[in-house]
Amino acid sequence: MILTVTLNTALDVTHHVPKLIPHASHRVTTVTERAGGKGLNVARVLAALGHEVTATGFAGGRTGAVVRELLAESPRVTDALVPCAGSTRRTLAVVDRTSGDTTQFNEPGPQIGSAEWTAFLGRYEALLTGAAAVALCGSLPPGVPVGAYATLVRSARAAGVPVLLDTSGEALRRGVAARPEMIKPNAAELAELTGSREPLQATRDARRRGAHAVVTSLGPGGLLAATAHGTWQAAPPRALTGNPTGAGDSAVAGLLSALTEGLDWPDRLTRAVALSAATVHAPTAGEFDPRTYEQVRGSVTLTTR
């Protein structure tokens, strides 16, 4: 079983419009709703790859109830979310069908009390006993300690469970110091962490701060990985147009699934890049287009850096 943690779960609502025009009224052509937040997106992709997944984090209020109903529709994903008094947030993505661009609106999330955080820690430590790996993903809701991910990384390490951390800002800085197996920032998050905007230098610097491996998302440029076994850049054969929301989450699922299957780093990166590209061609986050995945997987360019 792979464990995913989404402390700030969401109801992801995606609107498609013919063309997004500021200050104008729009007719929405299609609307989709998904149980969301980065870790839940990761969970669905892992399940689609054939892995059994347990998803934990917080869910509360009417929105949280909808998230849990939608999550129940995902095969091979077990709901281990912890109730909270506040209401789970919503995110709204507006997809411009003309340009392919997506505009995103993210609510902050519910206020988490100290008793709720303690209840979550108990649930998390119990779930670690059956986990092959864990993904810690996304932002922290209000009230959760800024060092939360560092605490969760240390608990997983004590249980002998490898951790992939995907967050940003101070939560990332503190989490890296706890020495996770992997982190997966994007270029902007990495620059904020290290102070360097040169991706290769910044990726190596982030590894020196404590992570065993650093995999940086470069957008259309693919992934740049600095590991104990070497440094590689893996890139898709061409830039793909579509909805990029959730592409990074699919990369996390690719990296984590390949880790649990014992694949080497080149194969891990190839899978992650192909899944990320295939997600751009899917209509909503937490899904990927299987045909694009197979096409890209066979033509990923891998370069030693």
The residue written with tokens 């059956």 in the block is: 130
DSSP string computed for 195-210:
S--SHHHHHHHHHHTT
- Report the alpha-carbon distance of residue 19 to residue 28 in Å, rounded: 10
Residues 58 and 116: beta-carbon distance below 8 Å: yes
Cβ neighbours of residue 160 closer than 8 Å, sequence gap 6 or more: none
- Report the alpha-carbon distance of residue 243 to residue 22 in Å, rounded: 19
Q: Is the dihedral of CA 211, 43, 282, 259 positive or negative?
A: positive
Token couple for 21 = 């025009």
249: annotated active-site residue: yes
Host H or E run for residue 193: helix 187-194
Q: Closest by alpha carbon to 279, among 270, 268, 287? A: 287
Q: Closest by alpha carbon to 218, among 198, 243, 204? A: 198
Between the two ends of the chain, the Cα-to-Cα distance in Å is: 33
Q: At what angle do helices 38-48 and 247-260 cross, to 10 degrees?
A: 50
Sheet architecture: strand order including 89-96: 30-36, 10-17, 89-96, 102-106
Identified catalytic residue from 205, 249, 264, 289? 249
Q: Closest by alpha carbon to 174, among 202, 155, 152? A: 152
**What are the catalytic residues?**
249
